[in-house]
Amino acid sequence: MGRLFGTDGVRGVANADLTAEMALGLSVAAAHVLAEAGTFEGHKPKAVVGRDPRASGEFLQAAVVAGLASAGVDVLCVGVLPTPAVAHLTGALGADLGVMLSASHNAMPDNGIKFFARGGHKLADELEDRIEAVYDAHRHGEPWERPTGAGVGRVRSYDEGFESYVAHLLSVLPNRLDGLKIVLDEAHGAASGVSPEAFARAGAQVVTIGAEPDGLNINDGCGSTHLDKLKAAVVEHGADLGIAHDGDADRCLAVDHTGEEVDGDQILSVLALAMRERSALRSDTVVATVMSNLGFKLAMERAGIRLVQTAVGDRYVLEEMKEHGYALGGEQSGHVIILDHATTGDGTLTGLLLAARVAETGRTLRELASVMERLPQVLINVPDVDRSRVKTSADLAAAVAEAERELGETGRVLLRPSGTEPLVRVMVEAADIEQARSVAGRLADAVKSALG
């Protein structure tokens, strides 16, 4: 079978791809693998389990909890909370394992399971591979060792998780948000309770939209993947800024007072300068992916801040940050990691820190974000080509070199084979949108001709 674990846990259509049986089996397998790895040595293991508001999360959580408890793991159910809250509580409560049920920004029919190791960190690839292998062996008849009597896990609700997480968010804010009017779009998702509470307690006047989850409306025309409602609400209410999360609130995008989007690259720019001012930007370095806008790179160069770029995916950003001890990293999509205060992207924390910078400086978000000029970016997907030859085709290399000569210092070309489909992504940035379109079109033709 293909690998179950993707870059962000196991994800699929709930009750079709991701069934109760799979959720139960993966949870038992995770308990066995972590026990073999010595994680549970000398004590009764403990897990934190949370979910986003999707209807399917109710039965999937029941399956996960049953699997863990049947394997001898005590379970604390923290209810509907953001992914970063579950990661934080896994660390704060000294748990051996955290489990989050969410499909993030995906549509409502999907769901997913994400495991966290002790401390709230993402499981290492080799542990995920081992969990999958053990789960697969059991599906093909290998029996589980099952505790009985007092050996089975106990299950209880941990309602203090909400308060603990909000208190954590407020404890890391450098200043209050008094005087700011902020619109929050919660995507009818996992942060619908904690995010408005945190912003209000920090002193902001809060207007909320998309904060009435009913299990079926998550990400439906709202949140960070659909910003139109937030843009309109910010202008309508005369707010200073707007903040949008996705379904599990590990992302944050923003809108300035005029209704213009402020993307992840711009948010990183603002936070990088703020953190450097407080001597919190270790090595004066920010980590981002190769898909970051060239305007971000140029802005950081002007500010004397080093940019380290990784492959696409927040896991690669996080690996680079942990390996070298960097404090700030993220993606254009709004997945921002502030490693001193979170082990994963945290949309609520990102939004609070962005608003804190507006309050501290007295400048508008539009003015703060203007430190970076987003260069026009054109992306063309070229289907039905041999993506394996992107790096070896001499004709394609010549076409790229010609495009780079034409663009000079004010533009950039990126050819990226898709990891999942037989297509190549052609991305061109230039100071002028017409030039970007023209160069991208020529390169797309060159890809078809060289790799078709």
> How many Cβ atoms are within 10 Å of 433's Cβ, its own excluded?
12
CATH number for position 18: 3.40.120.10
Contact 76, 186 (CB under 8 A): no
Q: For 69-123, how does the pLDDT look when each residue is reduced to its tens digit (9 = 90+)? A: 999 999 999 999 999 999 999 999 999 999 999 999 999 999 999 999 999 999 9
| Domain assignment present for 96 | yes
246 is in an annotated binding site: yes
Return the higher-pLDDT residue of 315 and 130. Answer: 130
Using the 3D structure, point to which of 334, 369, 404 is the last residue of a domain.
Answer: 369
Contact 26, 10 (CB under 8 A): yes
| Domain assignment present for 203 | yes
| Domain assignment present for 341 | yes
| Domain assignment present for 167 | no
> Of the ranges 1-10, 94-103, 174-183, 403-412, which one carries the lowest mean pLDDT score?
1-10
Tell me the average pLDDT of the chain. 95
Q: For 320-360, how does the pLDDT look when each residue is reduced to its tens digit (9 = 90+)? A: 999 999 999 999 999 999 999 999 999 999 999 999 999 99
Give the distance from CA 226 to its chain's centroid: 16
In angstroms, the CA 11 to CA 26 distance is: 12
Model-wide pTM > 0.75 = yes
Q: In which residue are the tokens 């254009």 written?
A: 332
Regarding whether 157 and 205 lie in a shared domain, the answer is no
Regarding whether 336 and 399 lie in a shared domain, the answer is no
| Domain assignment present for 444 | yes
Regarding whether 299 and 188 lie in a shared domain, the answer is yes
Regarding whether 184 and 134 lie in a shared domain, the answer is no
Using the 3D structure, point to which of 161, 181, 203 is the last residue of a domain.
Answer: 161
H/E segment holding residue 403: helix 394-407
Contact 377, 283 (CB under 8 A): no
At 430 the pLDDT is 92
In angstroms, the CA 363 to CA 371 distance is: 12
Q: Would you give the DSSP letter of residue 32?
A: H
Determine which one of 104, 192, 195, 333 is catalytic: 104
β-pairing, 241-244 with 253-256?
A: antiparallel
Contact 54, 111 (CB under 8 A): yes
β-pairing, 205-209 with 181-185?
A: parallel
250 is in an annotated binding site: yes
Using the 3D structure, point to which of 128, 161, 194 is the last residue of a domain.
Answer: 161
Mean pLDDT (whole number) for 380-392: 88
Regarding whether 57 and 150 lie in a shared domain, the answer is yes
Contact 446, 396 (CB under 8 A): yes
Contact 107, 12 (CB under 8 A): no
> How many Cβ atoms are within 10 Å of 428's Cβ, its own excluded?
27
Regarding whether 329 and 259 lie in a shared domain, the answer is yes
Domain count, the chain: 3
Q: Which domain holds residue 361?
A: 172-369
| Domain assignment present for 5 | no
Regarding whether 381 and 364 lie in a shared domain, the answer is no
Regarding whether 120 and 199 lie in a shared domain, the answer is no
Regarding whether 409 and 362 lie in a shared domain, the answer is no
CATH number for position 418: 3.30.310.50
Q: For 208-218, how does the pLDDT look when each residue is reduced to its tens digit (9 = 90+)? A: 999 999 999 99
Mean pLDDT (whole number) for 363-377: 95
| Domain assignment present for 166 | no
| Domain assignment present for 428 | yes
Query: Alpha helices of 179-227 — where are they, by DSSP H?
Result: 194-201
104 classed as catalytic: yes
